């Protein structure tokens, strides 16, 4: 046996296992992205809510309006050319853009737009709450969302809000406009073509790309939409590949097998700093990392126990050493960069203070809590750091490290002590986060369960005040209201806010024109050249 041949063979086999099929440089007209897409369950734009799915529908579908990525208060028409708001603030009349066409070549009509929004309401998926909060139900959707003629769409909402709020929500992924005719053709048992569309077999949007293929947990392939009514993208294909490990993404990026690595850990960014072929692209992110404690459970229903836990986190130490520049300390519910942002950061690691609070609460120590954690960096690292800093005060965290599916399931089940996770806003308005963290279902217009309900949080008058802030039409007053609400919320809520993500992705140096999104999965690939 020739030892050298054996070693080489083994090394090659190892590389193949690590790298998957090895390509040379990616083709000049193809953008290859490494990401984690095993959370994608559906590619129906009115059903997606996972990071990977929203990233895809952002490239494929368009909305009536879109939000300027530089300035979230600047709302631009996309499929709608212009709009008018009635005196009472209840009826929005959109004039459709006559140039817009679907990937089939057919024009985007007001009828399609009305059908799309009605479909989002009637499908009633997990993300439907984003638009049903305006009082739409399956029964009234057709009456309140209607095409008055070929090019005019009239929408009536249930109460007057700050006008920018409804428009911002219409720019969210769940309000995507789809073409009606092919969906009608593929409808089975009144499912609005959902079974056909969710499988990723085709797409019926007007965006720069169209869906070509989806191999679940392997790859998603998008092709240029040749009937695109705007400037045609330079890339003929966009491929998103499942590469779970940060180290593997880095290896592929350095070899030129991929153009963009979306899930690189901080250590890999630092290790690549000297490589001239790659650069790190920084961008804003509104993702907030937090640990939620379930206040249905003893002794978490004692606010002093919750406050003690907030004093038992080494926020700065974790941000500096574990996350190394990929997060900044953030302790309120609205992310920095949004209207209503607050720099309130009252908590730091203070063992004595926490011990005093626990003594005052008179709880029996040690307290043992089961925490559900996603088996993914950085969650496991964060959870272990908390475990270590809380133990000296007598709070023992037992980590249940589970995969993404189980992690989400446990969080919806109400029977856990604590949950380590993240929250990204669905649309760039403070209400997206405020509704989740501070409002209980009794105060929501559609009576849907919120994040606060999931963790058994009784926010008192914060819930009503948050809804009042939404109705405030003056931006400066609204900002002041949110600042007040947040300070109180940070002090009393069972959410241990820790960090806001600082987005950093790895790209090949020749990649230009990539626009990073502002919410949680709205990066834009259509202007990319390389």
Partner 1 sequence: MSAALQHPSPRQARLRAARSFARRFRRNPLGMAGLFIGLALIFMAIFAPLLATHDPYAPDFAARLTAPGWNYWLGTDELGRDIYTRILYGSRITIFIVALVVFTSAPIGLLLGVVSGYFGGWVDAVLMRITDVFLAVPKLLLALAFVAVLGPGIVNAALAITLTAWPPYARLARAETLAVRNADFVAAIALAGASPWRIITRHIFPICYSSMLVRVTFDMAGIILIAAGLGFIGLGAQPPLPEWGAMIASGRRFIFEQWWVAAMPGAAIFIVSLGFNFLGDALRDLLDPHAKVRQ
Among 85, 111, 234, 271, binds partner 1 (CB under 8 A): 271
Q: How far apart, in whole angstroms, are the C-alpha atoms of residue 294 and residue 419?
A: 8
Residue appearing with tokens 């509704």: 435
Minimum distance from residue 501 beta carbon to partner 1 (Å): 18
* CB of residue 384 to partner 1, shortest distance in Å: 5
Q: Where in 352-391 is the site for partner 1 (CB under 8 A)?
A: 375, 377, 380-381, 383-385, 387-388, 391
Residue whose CB is less far from partner 1, 399 or 434: 399
Q: Pick between residue 400 and residue 522 the one whose CB is nearest to partner 1.
A: 400
> Inter-axis angle of helices 351-361 and 303-310, to 10 degrees?
170
Q: How far is the CB of 315 from partner 1 (least distance, A)?
A: 12
- For residue 277, state whether it binds partner 1 (rule: CB under 8 A): no
The phi and psi torsions of 96 (rounded to 5 degrees) equal -70, 150
Nearer to partner 1, 328 or 375 (CB): 375
Specify the residue, 323 or 435, whose C-beta has the smaller distance to partner 1.
323
Which residue of 68, 139, 150, 267 would you call a contact of partner 1, by CB under 8 A?
267
Per CB under 8 A, does 351 bind partner 1? Answer: no
Is residue 10 a contact point for partner 1 (CB under 8 A)? no
Q: What gap in Å lies between CA 72 and CA 334, rounded to an integer?
A: 14
Q: Does the CA dihedral 130-210-518-25 come out positive or negative?
A: positive
The count of other CB atoms within 10 Å of the CB of residue 394 is 16
CA distances 519 to 153, 228, 271, 432, Å, are 27, 25, 28, 10
Rounded Cα distance, 64 and 176, in Å: 8
CB of 302 vs partner 1, minimal distance in Å: 26
Count other C-beta atoms under 10 Å from residue 270's C-beta: 12
Least distance between partner 1 and beta carbon 286 (Å): 25
Residue closest to 162 by CA, chosen among 469, 465, 448: 469
Q: By CB under 8 A, which span of 19-27, 312-320, 353-361, 493-501 interacts with partner 1?
A: 312-320
Nearer to partner 1, 27 or 317 (CB): 317
β-pair type (495-501, 288-293): antiparallel
In the complex, least distance from residue 391 CB atom to partner 1, rounded to whole angstroms: 8
DSSP-H helix ranges across 311-378: 315-317, 351-361
Q: Indicate which single residue of 215, 320, 409, 449 sits in contact with partner 1 (rule: CB under 8 A).
A: 320
Closest CA to 252 of 235, 239, 237: 239
Q: Is 15 in the site for partner 1 (CB under 8 A)?
A: no
Contact set for partner 1, span 390-419 (CB under 8 A) = 391, 398-403
| 83: three-class secondary structure by DSSP | strand
Q: Does 124 bind partner 1 (CB under 8 A)?
A: no
Residues 6+ apart with CB under 8 A from 331: 315, 344, 345, 346, 347, 490, 497, 498
From the CB of 394, what's the least distance to partner 1, in Å?
15
Q: What is the 3-state secondary structure (H, E, C) of 223-275?
A: EECCCCCCCCCCCCEEEEEECCCHHHHHHHHHHCCCCEECCCCHHHHHHCCCC
In whole angstroms, the minimum distance from the beta carbon of 387 to partner 1 comes to 6
327 near partner 1 (CB under 8 A): no
User: Residue 381 Cβ, how far from partner 1 at the closest point, in Å?
Assistant: 6
Interaction pattern, residues 226-265, with partner 1; x per rule: CB under 8 A: -------------------xxx--xx-------------x
Interface with partner 1, residue 78, by CB under 8 A: no
Residue 139, C-beta contacts closer than 8 angstroms, at least 6 positions apart: none
- Residue 256 CB, shortest distance to partner 1, in Å, is 17
Q: Total number of residues binding partner 1 (CB under 8 A)?
A: 30
Site for partner 1 in 469-528 (CB under 8 A): none
Binding site for partner 1 (CB under 8 A): 245-247, 250-251, 265, 267, 271, 314, 317-318, 320-322, 375, 377, 380-381, 383-385, 387-388, 391, 398-403
């Amino acid at each position: 046996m020739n030892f050298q041949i054996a070693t080489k063979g083994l090394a090659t086999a190892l590389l193949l296992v690590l790298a998957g099929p090895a390509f040379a440089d990616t083709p000049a007209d193809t953008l290859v992205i490494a990401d984690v897409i095993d959370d994608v369950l559906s590619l129906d734009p009115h059903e997606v809510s996972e990071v990977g799915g929203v990233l895809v529908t952002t490239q494929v579908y368009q909305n009536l309006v879109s939000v300027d990525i530089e300035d979230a208060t600047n709302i631009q028409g996309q499929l709608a050319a212009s709009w008018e708001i009635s005196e009472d603030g209840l009826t929005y009349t959109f004039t459709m853009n006559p140039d817009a066409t679907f990937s089939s070549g057919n024009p985007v009509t007001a009828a399609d737009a009305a059908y799309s929004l009605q479909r989002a309401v009637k499908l009633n998926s997990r993300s439907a709450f984003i638009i049903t909060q305006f009082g739409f139900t399956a029964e009234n959707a057709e009456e309140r969302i209607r095409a008055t003629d070929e090019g005019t769409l009239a929408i009536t909402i249930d109460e007057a809000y700050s006008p920018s709020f409804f428009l911002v929500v219409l720019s969210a992924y769940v309000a995507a406009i789809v073409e009606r005719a092919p969906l009608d053709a593929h409808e089975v048992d009144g499912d609005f073509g959902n079974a056909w569309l969710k499988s990723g077999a085709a797409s019926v949007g007007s965006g720069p790309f169209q869906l070509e293929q989806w191999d679940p947990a392997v790859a998603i392939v998008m092709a240029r939409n040749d009937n695109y009514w705007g400037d045609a993208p330079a890339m003929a294909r966009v491929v998103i590949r499942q590469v779970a490990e940060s180290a593997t993404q880095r290896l592929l990026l350095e070899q030129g097998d991929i153009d963009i690595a979306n899930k690189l850990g901080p250590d890999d960014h630092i290790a690549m700093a000297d490589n001239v072929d790659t650069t790190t692209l920084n961008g804003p992110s509104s993702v907030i990392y937090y640990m939620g404690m379930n206040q249905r459970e003893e002794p978490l229903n004692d606010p002093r126990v919750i406050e003690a836990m907030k004093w038992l986190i080494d926020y700065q130490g974790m941000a500096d050493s574990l996350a190394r520049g990929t997060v900044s300390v953030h302790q309120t519910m609205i992310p920095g960069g949004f209207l209503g942002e607050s720099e309130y950061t009252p908590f730091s690691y203070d063992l004595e203070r926490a011990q005093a609070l626990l003594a005052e609460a008179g709880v029996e120590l040690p307290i043992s809590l089961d925490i559900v954690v996603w088996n993914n960096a950085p969650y496991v690292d964060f959870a272990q750091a908390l475990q270590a800093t809380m133990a000296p005060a007598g709070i023992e965290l037992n980590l249940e490290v589970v995969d993404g599916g189980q992690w989400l399931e446990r969080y919806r089940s109400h029977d856990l002590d604590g949950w380590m996770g993240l929250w990204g806003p669905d649309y760039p308005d403070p209400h997206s986060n405020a509704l989740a963290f501070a409002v209980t279902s009794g105060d929501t217009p559609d009576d849907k369960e919120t994040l606060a309900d999931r963790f058994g949080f009784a926010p008192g008058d914060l819930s009503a005040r948050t809804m009042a802030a939404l109705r405030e039409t003056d931006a400066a007053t609204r900002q002041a209201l949110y600042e007040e609400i947040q300070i109180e919320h940070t002090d009393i809520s069972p959410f241990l806010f820790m960090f806001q993500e600082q987005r950093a992705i790895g790209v090949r140096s020749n990649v230009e024109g990539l626009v990073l999104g502002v919410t949680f999965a709205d990066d834009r690939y259509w202007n990319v050249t390389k």
